[in-house]
Amino acid sequence: MAQTLTITRPDDWHIHLRDGDQLATTVPDAARYFARAIIMPNLVPPVMNAEQALAYKSRIMANRPAGSQFEPLMVLYLTDNTSADDIRTARAAGVVAAKLYPAGATTNSASGVTDITRLYPVLEVMAEVGMLLLVHGEVTDSSIDIFDREKAFIDRTLLPLRAAMPSLKIVLEHITTADAAQFVTGACDNTAATITAHHLLYNRNHMLAGGIRPHYYCLPILKRSSHQEALIAAATSGSARFFLGTDSAPHAKEKKEAACGCAGSYTAYAAIELYAEAFEAAGALDKLEGFASHFGPDFYGLARNTDTITLEKADWQVPDTIAMAGTQLVPLRAGETLTWRVAR
């Protein structure tokens, strides 16, 4: 009898589904067993208002597999021009959060925010109407080393923002450093973070030692192993401030394997399987359910899912590529073996 693990059905609190024909690949992958997912709004052009969020949501729903109950949770993309009215209208339309992309920080962030302090009145309204602030936490200052950009963002932007806006719920997305884990642990109760599977499984040696591996390149960039260890400790600590967000971010193979490759790793095809591997390696499989299925909905003020999924220990080979909208994408761990799978 294979080892099995049954947990409350999980949700993904950070995913990129892209748009158009790409949804035919990304939505079924996300909907395999996640009940809900926070849909990142960094399309081109971005999802900036309620109308665009609802239209995007219906394009996602149109790509759900037959019988799927998968629920996309929509997010607004903050720009310098986002108004209090945009927030109120979006909240009334069911949008749950707004995303802060410092302008230029990551994929499709060109329309992002140049100075967050000028949006403080808008953030006040978010706190008032119960909309969360999701943050890509990196400075864009080119004089700051890429490996230090998350810590610099915490010091320069997040600490003052946290102090100025105590009643705003803030999720620091895809954290990559011990500094970020410490910030979240030490901040007020309205503070949480998502952690990706790849930041639990890898450090920058995996990306750079013995050859450059572009499919490990994502932002914020993988850090040294001491940071990886701090993330594993946070994710497996049982603290309700840390929960699952894959940051699965598909880019076509030729856009990754290029002289100037795009940032983002595709993990949605095997998300919970990859997390199970990381938690098992840490001797903490008993902590996976809280991280994957309880703490996210608790922080968002949503009900936990009531049904379950079962993982089983069984080797299987990851395909070399996955077809997406007339291109191929190379999933993280392409051609390698995974040791967990979701039982049917």
82/246 with CB nearer Zn ion: 246
Segment 299 to 338, residues that bind ligand NCD, using CB under 6 A: none
> If binding is defined by CB under 6 A, does position 29 make contact with ligand NCD?
no
* H/E segment holding residue 314: strand 308-317
What does the angle CA 233 – CA 230 – CA 17 come to, to the nearest 5 degrees?
A: 90
- Residue from 60, 74, 219, 324 touching ligand NCD (CB under 6 A): that is 219
Give the residue with the Cβ less far from ligand NCD, 39 or 119: 39
CA proximity to 4, closest of 313, 344, 316: 313
Q: Transcribe 105-125 into DSSP letters.
A: SSTT-TTSBS-GGGGHHHHHH
The stretch among 59-67, 129-137, 255-263, 313-321 that binds Zn ion (CB under 5 A) is: 129-137
Backbone φ and ψ for 13, nearest 5 degrees, come out as: -90, 20
Active site residue 247: yes
According to the annotation, is 251 in a ligand binding site? yes
Determine the residue with CB nearest ligand NCD: 264
Are the CB atoms for 241 and 295 separated by under 8 Å? yes
Binders in 95-114 for Zn ion, by CB under 5 A: 106
- Closest CB to Zn ion among residues 153, 279: 153
Contact string (CB under 6 A) for ligand NCD, positions 135-174, x = contact: -x--------------------------------------
With CA atoms as reference, report the closest residue to 332 among 244, 245, 229, 253: 253
Binding mask 231-270 for Zn ion (x = CB under 5 A): ----------------x-----------------------
Strands 36-39 and 12-15: parallel
Residue 330 one-letter amino acid: V
CA distance 210 to 248: 25
Cα–Cα distance, 134 to 170 (Å, whole number): 6
> How far is 231 from 59, CA to CA, in rounded Å?
35
Q: Does the footprint of ligand NCD cover residue 263 (CB under 6 A)? A: yes
Task: Enter the tokens of residue 254.
Answer: 């030729």
Does residue number 136 form part of the binding site for Zn ion (CB under 5 A)?
Answer: yes
206 annotated among ligand-binding-site residues? no
Q: Is 227 annotated among the ligand-binding residues?
A: no
List, by residue number, the catalytic residues: 247
Which residues contribute to the annotated binding site for Zn(2+)? Answer: 14, 16, 99, 136, 174, 247
* Binding footprint of ligand NCD on the chain (CB under 6 A): 16, 42, 106-108, 136, 218-219, 247, 249, 263-264
